[in-house]
A and B are shown apart, each in its own frame.
Chain A
Amino acid sequence: MSETVLRKPAVLASARGGRRLRPEGDRSALARMVIACLCLVLAATIVFSLAFGASDASVLSVVKTLIAGTDAADNGLSVRDRIIIYDIRLPRVILGALIGASLAVSGAVMQGLFRNPLADPGIVGVSAGAGLGAVSIIVLGGTFLAPMIALFSLYALPLAAFFGALIFTLVLYRVATRRGQTSIATMLLAGIALGAMAAAYIGVLVYIADDKQLRDLTFWGLGSLAGANWVKIAASGPLIALALVISPFLARGLNGLALGEASASHLGIPVQRFKRIAIVTVAAATGASVAVSGGIGFVGVVVPHLLRLVIGPDHRYLLPAAALLGASLLLIADAVSRTIVAPSELPIGIVTAAVGAPFFLWILLRRRGILDL
């Protein structure tokens, strides 16, 4: 066809500051730039989190240690600081980053799957399902679930949470979706019912729990990164890593699904198989996160929403950007939770809910129309 017509300025964005011409409406260059920036932000947040706390090792000496390794004598860190950084802060930072990333990614995948921006594992009851799985292991692990623990040892808790999340996601999808269309109202109502159901069963389990189990449950249920250690990373890390590795491969399918199930399959996407993979991914990311840190709400709805405003909903960019921003934000929230009531610390779930819930209301206020879909 006529190429000369295409080059006319109405179609292409005007050159800004001598930069390469990009067609109007193409946000991929912006998205790549945002992702690069988010990489830097995450790196800075990690270093800051390692250096920041009751024992004030300087940022510089922390960076030196990280580069030179523990054995280098001349890195300006005392033995005490080294232990604090390697055995307390580093696992906490790694776990925080993994969980932040997995919460944000599971939110983004779920929103793409249900084709609506309000779907979030915490809001529609999937986290509650994961919680039910986790509580079952904590309370019944000594009795009739003992073979599970013998078989899976430290993986039993995250796996139970994963299956809890998986079952709840499947039920939710079954109830809320009919002939390839998801009703937002039905989804939210089903989420309320699932959340109530999980709360009831958890209540029963709490009632029969003994004193030690009650203490475990309380610590777990606060939604906290406190007590992060290498064992917890070994237990939940693989499931989270698996979900994070799978997620980029979901991008094309989620983009197609935005057009509706029929159109997605007309584009050549195997929709049924794709949905199964996406649901398992959401369940793995949510289950593993909940198993370690309890309920940390609103990261999954706030992070993708903010990113869509800037780089658009193309999942090829949205998913990695959500992982990076989710990790950074959770580390910042953790820093706040460690210091705001120092020397004690606030559960991080309280921090994310305090900021995230008003933000969620703001989304609702701006986009009330979507509920009428």
Chain B
Amino acid sequence: MIRVSNVSVSLGRSRIVEHVSFDAEAGAFCVIVGPNGSGKTTLMRALSGDLPHEGVISINGVPINRLKLWQMASMRAILPQSTSLSFPFTVREIVKLGMTSGRSGAARHNVETLPDEALERVDLAGFGGRFYQELSGGEQQRVQLARVLCQVWQPVLDGQPRFLFLDEPVSSLDIKHQLIIMQIARDFADRGGGVIAILHDLNLTSMFADRVVVMHKGRADSVGTPMEVLTDDRILRVYECALKVGGLPGKSVPFVLPQSATF
């Protein structure tokens, strides 16, 4: 379990995150939502160990500032928003970087085929020999996800759950791949791991999340299930946008919801 209790983060003199508390259990998909500048990414960076914080962030009961980098690397993997490279790595070489640290948990005979398996998972089978820099932004993002998956391939290792942190994992993807990525995260949680993701898409959030943390002006406005959290007045207050949950558009406008997907 990831436990965030009373966490505050400052960047320079300004306090970006204030007194945030929530739990992200193993087996659950936890989504952080909120408007731009509400402190989501700063909170994620603190969870990742990149920023100093006040309060306590613990993974499986151990505060993260007592963990060494290599220990954390075997407990959680992090997908950044985007990654650009200045050297001509192949897709396969990038994915294999996920296996250089941490412990994938793949069986030994599986290690050679793991990158291909991970690429197939993110719908990039056969891309191993392509150059990363020649791929589109959405494809690059999926290559990075394949790398991150390799780092924590088994959601549970030695009886300890492991975690995926995803920072806007679907922001540059088409609808098909948004659903594929969300399914991968869901599946990781269903197999006993934990997932914390930052999302902007409230529909995908309500479809896949077990727990939603709504960030507003650096504070956790509310924590709960999508049903509890996504209400008209909260969306008005937090996003400053008068929207109606479950409201349908007028007949002349087509609308497509991810919820209508059949798997």
| Interface residues, chain A, with chain B CB atoms under 8 Å away | 1, 3, 5-6, 10-13, 23-27, 115-117, 252, 255-256, 258-260, 262-263, 265-270, 308-309, 312-314, 370, 373
Contacts and interface: CB of A to CB of B under 8 A. Distances in A.
8 contacts: A3-B113, A6-B117, A6-B120, A10-B125, A25-B93, A265-B50, A267-B73, A268-B101
Interface string B78-92: 101001111111111
B129 A373 contact: no
Given A23-B116, A256-B101, A269-B101, A313 B69 contact: no
A258 B112 contact: no
B234 to A, nearest CB: 32
A266 B78 contact: yes
Q: What is the predominant secondary structure among interface residues of chain A facing chain B? A: loop
Contact of A26 (B87, B92, B97, B98): B92
A270 B70 CA distance: 8
B80 A263 contact: yes
Nearest to B83: A259
B85 A259 contact: yes
B55 interface: no
Counting contact residues on chain B (CB < 8 A from A), the size range is: 35 or more
Contacts of B73: 266-268
Contacts of A270: 69
A263 B88 CA distance: 18
B49 interface: yes
Contacts of B49: 265-266
Contacts of A262: 45, 48, 50, 78, 80
B126 interface: yes
A117 B117 CA distance: 31
B130 interface: yes
B46 to A, nearest CB: 12
B78 A263 contact: yes
A312 B77 contact: no
Contacts of B130: 25
B128 A11 contact: yes
Contacts of B117: 1, 5-6
B89 A313 contact: yes
B74 interface: yes
B72 interface: yes
- Most chain B beta-carbon neighbours within 10 Å: one of A13, A24, A308: A24
A258 B98 CA distance: 13
B205 interface: no
A26 B112 CA distance: 10
B14 interface: no
Given A262-B78, A266-B78, 8 more contacts: A5-B117, A23-B113, A25-B128, A25-B129, A27-B93, A266-B77, A267-B97, A312-B89
- Most chain B beta-carbon neighbours within 10 Å: one of A11, A262, A267, A309: A267
Nearest 8 pairs of A and B residues by beta carbon: A268-B73, A25-B92, A24-B129, A313-B87, A25-B128, A268-B70, A25-B90, A268-B101
Contact of B90 (A1, A255, A268, A312): A312
B139 to A, nearest CB: 14
B35 interface: no
A252 B100 CA distance: 8
Nearest to A318: B87
Contact of B88 (A12, A24, A312): A312
A153 to B, nearest CB: 42
A175 B116 CA distance: 41
Nearest to B94: A259
B151 to A, nearest CB: 7
B48 A266 contact: yes
A23 B48 contact: no
Contact of B74 (A10, A27, A268): A268
B86 to A, nearest CB: 5
A267 B126 CA distance: 25
B90 A27 contact: yes
B115 A268 contact: no
B224 interface: no
A232 to B, nearest CB: 35
Nearest to B80: A263
Contacts of A265: 49-50, 69
Contacts of A24: 92, 126, 128-129
B86 A370 contact: yes
Interface in B120-176: 120, 125-126, 128-130, 151
A259 B115 CA distance: 17
Contacts of A5: 117, 120
B116 A260 contact: no
A256 B100 contact: yes
B86 A373 contact: yes
